Amino acid sequence: MDARVLFCDFAEVSGGKLFVSGAGISLVAAMQETPPYPLTAALAILVTMPAEEADRPHRLTVELLARGDDGSRQRVPMTGPSPETLPGEEGLIVHPFQIERGPNIIDGEEICVPLALPLSQFPLPQMGGYTFSVHIDEVEMDRASFRLVPLPTPE
């Protein structure tokens, strides 16, 4: 099983296909001078899994980590408390999924599962580096990193 994540301006799934716009963001300009800094963007995630993994429950999680000046990483909560939250998943985006094995699925093939996660006015606590880490069934699959910088002032 595998997953690839793109940090982008916009993503949506329609007709079983992933539509992405403005992918590959690495720098984000803060639109205000003081925290929290609202972020509006999206994560486009493409999961590929062997046909043999169909009809089994899986759990995709997305974690946002802020990078400190000393290289440390601290989790930035992306969600509030919920009764369905498992220990250790506090603040993560959690997406349980299960793909039904249809009659056209053949052993040995891969199944693509497109996902789009919009981030609308999501508050970032500080300037600096961030990393989205995507896991499936507690195994890290991919990362997308970016840096929040001050909005350039015109001279």
For residue 149, pLDDT beyond 90: yes
> At residue 154, does pLDDT exceed 80?
no
What is the pLDDT of the chain when averaged over all its residues? Answer: 93
**Largest distance between two CA atoms of the chain:** 63
Is pLDDT at 117 greater than 80 in this prediction? yes
The mean pLDDT of 4-21, rounded to a whole number, is 97
Tell me how far CA of residue 140 lies from CA of 32, 83, 134, 144, in angstroms. 33, 24, 6, 12
pLDDT(100) > 90: no
Cα distance between residue 45 and residue 146, in whole Å: 16
* Residue ranges of domains in the chain, CATH in brackets: 2-149 (2.60.40)
Read off the DSSP letter of residue 52: G
Could you tell me how many residues make up the chain?
Answer: 155
Asked if 78 and 122 touch (Cβ cutoff 8 Å), the reply is yes
pTM here is 0.91
> Strand order in 17-23's β-sheet?
17-23, 2-14, 37-50, 110-124
Q: Which of these, 30, 22, 7, 11, lies nearest to 149 by C-alpha position?
A: 30
**What is the DSSP secondary structure assignment for residue 154, as one 8-state letter?**
P
Q: Please, is 54 exposed, middle or buried when counting C-beta atoms within 10 Å of its C-beta (0-12, 13-18, 19+)?
A: middle
* 152 CB-side CA count, 13 A: 4
